[in-house]
Amino acid sequence: MVSEENQKLISKLIFSTIVPRPIAWITTVSKEGAVNLAPFSFFNAVTTKPPLLFVSVGKRKDGSLKDTSRNIVETGEFVVNVVSEEFLEKMHLSGKDFPPEVSEPEELGISLESSEKVKPPRVKGVPASLECVLREHLNLGSTPMDVFIGEVVSITYSPEILNSQRGIVGRLGGKRYCIVKNEVDLSNL
């Protein structure tokens, strides 16, 4: 049995050593049609064929599902928006606890546009948006966390992202972030 104090240190070490973490800025819609937007850094690619990714969402303090989880469970769809420097502060603020009836994009003045293949809209102006359909829902850990495996069914992107990821934001320990400023290209080694 791990003591509470040790568990706190383990969590802190996971947040501070598995870095930088990519950020999935996720749009979902509720059954009633309200748009939700929140960031998640327990996120990564799983496979490319088919293109699968995962995101791991914790529970609220009272044990209830976060809005993102509830919407993914209810609708089976979500959109991962890639965060660039100009969206950093708004992305961070969208991680605060908003009541389900409040739309984060409206509250924070974030423009949305329709996606190609799924209902949740994408954030306008981000470098890329990956539209996903839920393939697996796992419950892992003691809380437990809701781990969603999504299949990417459509990608909207600005072509520059294929050659450079400059300006993309990642999550560090605490409330710190990094921004890609210094790319090292070893393709001719």
Ligand X SMILES: Cc1cc2nc3c(=O)[nH]c(=O)nc-3n(C[C@H](O)[C@H](O)[C@H](O)COP(=O)(O)O)c2cc1C
The site for ligand X (CB under 6 A) is made up of 23, 36, 38-42, 56-58, 66-68, 92, 95, 97, 171
Shorter beta-carbon distance to ligand X: residue 31 or 49: 31
Q: What span, in angstroms and rounded, lies between the C-alpha atoms of 114 and 77?
A: 14
**Does residue 91 contact residue 113 with C-beta atoms inside 8 Å?**
no
* DSSP assignment string, 74-107: HH-EEEEEPPBGGGHHHHHHTTS---TTS-HHHH
Least distance CB 42 / ligand X (angstroms): 3
- What are the beta bridge partners of residue 113? 122
* Direct distance between the N- and C-terminal alpha carbons of the chain, in angstroms, rounded to an integer: 48
Structure tokens at 103: 């739309």
Shorter beta-carbon distance to ligand X: residue 129 or 171: 171
Least distance CB 97 / ligand X (angstroms): 5
Least distance CB 6 / ligand X (angstroms): 21
Least distance CB 143 / ligand X (angstroms): 9
CA-nearest of 102, 85, 47, 114 to 179 is 85
Shorter beta-carbon distance to ligand X: residue 67 or 131: 67
Shorter beta-carbon distance to ligand X: residue 88 or 155: 88
CA-nearest of 126, 166, 117, 176 to 25 is 126
Shorter beta-carbon distance to ligand X: residue 19 or 153: 19
* Closest residue to ligand X, based on beta-carbon distance: 95
Least distance CB 186 / ligand X (angstroms): 29
Q: What span, in angstroms and rounded, lies between the C-alpha atoms of 189 and 172?
A: 29
